[in-house]
Chain A
């Protein structure tokens, strides 16, 4: 079953950048029934970098919120290469609050190099939008399960990552900043991206070690694109197991455990 992934983080980066890497648009019909898309943040607009809606999985109604990588240049133009603006995060929050109202669990899919960096994003409060999601998801009174599909870059990923259980696809990478950004800022040389990948501890197994993720979701040999159906089955299995576990816990305990999950991350000494 689970074999140890012997690929380097850089090799995995090549897999998740592969043109055929499945996106949320491939997975939704394979994982969920009756997905109905919902649009807009009710404040400014509809950000296509974030897709949201309601659906069911194995008969359980859920709210689905996902960052959308494009499969070609046209889709990428529409979804801004999966880099949300503030209205994308606010749409996510609106749908999460709606899920809370109707007692539906929330399933989030993370797949972004990061939140968009631009003039309009700043004007509309990119920082505030992400911060608000972190705070509100931390106290959202319904189970939240998140999955990293490919790239999970910085606060733009974490805005959909405050959850009760985090699953990471075997070849996905979750990082504080893209390896390129890391190299460019710390070493003043963006071309050292590959070296950055090597030291940043961004691979799925690192997420388990550091207490960031609870589960590594298997991909077929060579990556998810080699068997999308099988990968979708693995994701669905993870979601169902997590839902069954978390839906049985009282909301008070659920929220305490969610807080504790993040509360204990940090490495320091006291003198």
Chain B
């Protein structure tokens, strides 16, 4: 009985089996909000928490502090001031640039299941009354891989922020480039990085918040380019897939390899910040930048 429940919970969660390969394989997970009456088994420490306790804890493991994956709408509710969000480009949908078999069909299914049209939600909002442009990636949608729509929406968000002299906050999560769009997806890395460059040249602030999992072509583009880089504790951040590396070196890697803590130690993030204090942390940073002498 308990076993069955656990299986249900496990399949409903994005199992954090941390491999880019798996991430990109988009296993057939049901993308639903987690019912609070179920159990949460932590993919990091295997601790089992009651669902409602877990939800009350903002979907952070009460035992090991792993910040689990949440949807873009959940993130927005936690982060932005109430009713302040105005979405950009909600209706944008990708075409099928390399005619990948069943690409449209797969996306239609995901759109129905998630209520979003692709893997990033962008818009403008306030955080404790500070105006900013925000982008939130949603790993339920093809592991938030970056194709034409993700690239275009992020680029437009930066262009809007540059024009209106606003800071940008990006909550990143991604399995990497969207292979189903071929070389077009690779080029989105250059496109988004170019938009970051223009925003930066205008003297504007860009904060990235790395969430579970941030990997591949997103790590190798806009996710690594923030003026300030924040990570949620215990999340996976890396370039190459763990299994790819393990296959090359023929040994198992330590559990904390490519964790937020690993990146902090090696100098690639400024700080870790807890989900429950993210609003306060970022609002504080925004205020400090507003009052700078310029």
Contacts and interface: CB of A to CB of B under 8 A. Distances in A.
B194 interface: yes
A202 B185 CA distance: 12
B244 to A, nearest CB: 5
Interface stretch (A45-53, A98-106, A233-241, A262-270): A262-270
B139 interface: no
B194 A175 contact: no
Contacts of A115: 220, 239-240
A176 B186 contact: yes
Contact of B186 (A119, A126, A154): A154
Interface residues of A, number: 54
- Chain B contact-residue range equals 35 or more
A268 B95 contact: yes
Contacts of B98: 199-201
Contact of A122 (B94, B182, B183, B240): B240
A134 B193 contact: yes
Given A126-B239, A158-B190, A186-B24, A175 B225 contact: no
Given A127-B220, A259-B194, A155 B92 contact: no
Residue among B89, B99, B191, B267 with the highest chain A CB neighbour number at 10 A: B191
B105 interface: no
A42 interface: no
Contacts of B152: 266, 268
Interface stretch (A23-31, A205-213, A218-226): A205-213
Interface stretch (A56-64, A71-79, A177-185): A177-185
Interface stretch (B33-41, B73-81, B245-253, B281-289): B245-253
B179 A186 contact: yes
Interface stretch (B50-58, B64-72, B123-131, B196-204): B196-204
A212 B183 contact: yes
Contacts of A122: 238-240, 245, 257-258
A7 interface: no
A265 B191 contact: yes
Contact of B197 (A130, A139, A159, A200): A139
A124 interface: yes
B184 A135 contact: no
B188 A131 contact: no
A128 B224 contact: yes
A128 B268 contact: yes
Given A135-B196, A158-B190, A175 B89 contact: no
21 contacts: A122-B245, A123-B266, A127-B220, A131-B220, A132-B224, A134-B189, A134-B194, A134-B220, A155-B217, A155-B221, A158-B187, A161-B190, A185-B25, A199-B98, A199-B101, A202-B182, A206-B183, A262-B191, A263-B155, A263-B191, A266-B191
Given A117-B244, A202-B182, A262-B191, 14 more contacts: A121-B239, A125-B224, A125-B266, A175-B183, A176-B186, A265-B187, A267-B95, A267-B97, A268-B92, A269-B95, A270-B89, A270-B92, A271-B92, A271-B93
Interface of A: 115, 117-119, 121-128, 130-132, 134-136, 138-139, 154-155, 158-159, 161-162, 174-177, 182, 184-186, 188, 199-202, 206-207, 210, 212, 258-259, 262-263, 265-271
Interface of B: 21, 24-25, 89, 91-101, 148-149, 151-152, 155, 177, 179-191, 193-198, 200-201, 216-217, 219-225, 238-241, 244-245, 248-249, 253, 257-258, 266-268
